[in-house]
Amino acid sequence: MLAVIAMLPALQACNPAYYASSVGGHIKIVSSSQPVDRLLERRDTNPDLKERLAISREIRNYASEQLALPDNNSYRRYVDTGRDYVSWAVYSSPEFSVGLNTWCFPIYGCVPYRGYFSEQAAEKFAETLRKQDMDVYVGGVPAYSSLGWFDDPLMNTMVIRGDVYLAGVVFHELAHQRVYVQNDSNFNEAFAVTVEENGVEKWLRERGEDAVLKDYEAGLRRYKDFQILVAETRQELASIYASDISVEEMRTAKAREIERLRARYHQLRNGKWKGYRGFDRWFDEPINNAKLATISVYGDLVSDFKRLFDLCGGNYERFYGAVEYLAQVEKSEREEALQTASSCMAGGS
């Protein structure tokens, strides 16, 4: 399961038109929402939706009661956006770089994407980047987090993807409300993914959903294999970009490496994965630096955070304390401090 992107198109962007669009989109969604409890009481609420909302309420309560996540009004109201994604994120990278460009906003700091509530607006901005010879990737986003500044609503884009997905996204987005560090998306996203995955496994285990848990864990293992493929390709591309070959030779080598990635995926799919085709669409569509980099943002540090969680004895409050301690460490030293931690660390003891 792809980790969900935690985002709110920045409500205080420097561009007035962007600011107005972001604020308007958020207000429209929030003002259209209704309390989940009220929808569950109404006789005219669709029975299928009622069932999903009942589970969403269970998940939301579980997040605060069992995972020590914020107990507020986020995800206690529901809105049908009338579409499959609530927003779209635009990522970009230079043609010969494995890094992502960033945009900086008040409150949220610098992040490796720019978000839009309109797909058309996202594509329009993406086109301006392409004209600058940037590699660009536009991805649909099923949920976003305002980091606790607002009561984020539950949306149809979250519930239509199944109970396990819903649990994961609620845990993930609430984790951002618990700890968020400006200007360090890799740290923030890996932390939230850790809370998401550990939380879903705990939730399924306590519900006695053994078969579902087995499938979920198999999916996590496949995703780890996928991340390794992408990471290896990015390393090869980084070497190519650092070489002194000509631009045309570099383009040729880049294209060859991406095709090699597709070939290695097919080997994995038809071999170890025994024909599992869940990633076919990702590989069938165009692949570039920006698309590859998004995978690293949401996964590079997850294993380190999971190790820290174990060092904290699986205690969520202690784990959050340790993460909050790391958040105070200088960014240049933070990743190493996480990777070399031998205990739950100060603040989490």
For residue 200, CA distances in Å to 1, 194, 208, 209, 332 come to 12, 10, 12, 11, 31
Domain check: are 51 and 178 in the same one? yes
Own/partner long-range contacts of 165-169 (Cβ < 8 Å, ≥24 apart): 165/1, 166/52, 166/55, 166/56, 166/59, 167/59, 167/62, 167/199, 167/200, 167/203, 168/1, 168/4, 168/196, 168/197, 168/199, 168/200, 169/4, 169/142, 169/143, 169/196
Domain check: are 183 and 327 in the same one? no
Distance (Å, whole) CA 200 – CA 225: 20
Domain boundary, last residue among 172, 188, 204: 188
Domain check: are 184 and 310 in the same one? no
Domain boundary, last residue among 173, 188, 203: 188
Could you give the number of structural domains in the chain? 2
Residue 178 domain flag? yes
Residue 80 domain flag? yes
Q: Where are the alpha helices (DSSP H) in 208-301?
A: 210-242, 247-270, 280-284, 289-297
Residue 258 domain flag? no
Q: What angle do CA 48, 53, 57 make, to 5 degrees?
A: 155
107: alpha, beta or left, given left = phi > 0 and alpha = psi -120 to 50? left
Domain check: are 169 and 308 in the same one? no
Domain boundary, last residue among 153, 188, 223: 188
137: alpha, beta or left, given left = phi > 0 and alpha = psi -120 to 50? beta
Q: Per-residue confidence of the chain (349 residues) as pLDDT tens digits?
A: 223 333 344 343 345 566 556 666 777 888 789 999 999 999 999 999 999 999 999 999 999 999 999 999 999 999 999 999 999 999 999 999 999 999 988 777 899 999 999 999 999 999 999 999 999 999 999 998 888 888 899 999 999 999 999 999 999 999 999 999 999 999 999 999 999 999 999 999 999 999 999 999 999 999 999 999 999 999 999 999 999 999 999 999 999 999 999 999 999 999 999 999 999 999 999 999 999 999 998 888 999 999 999 999 999 999 999 999 999 999 999 999 999 999 998 655 5
92-114 in b/e form (b: 16+ CB < 10 A) is: bbbebbbebbebebeebbebbbb
Residue 34 domain flag? yes
Residue 296 domain flag? no
Tell me which residue of 345, 307, 302 sits closest to 327, measured CA to CA. Answer: 345
Query: Can you give the residue range of the structural domain that contains 166?
Result: 16-188
Residue 94 domain flag? yes
What is the pTM (predicted TM-score) of this model?
Answer: 0.91
Residue 334 domain flag? yes
Residue 174 domain flag? yes
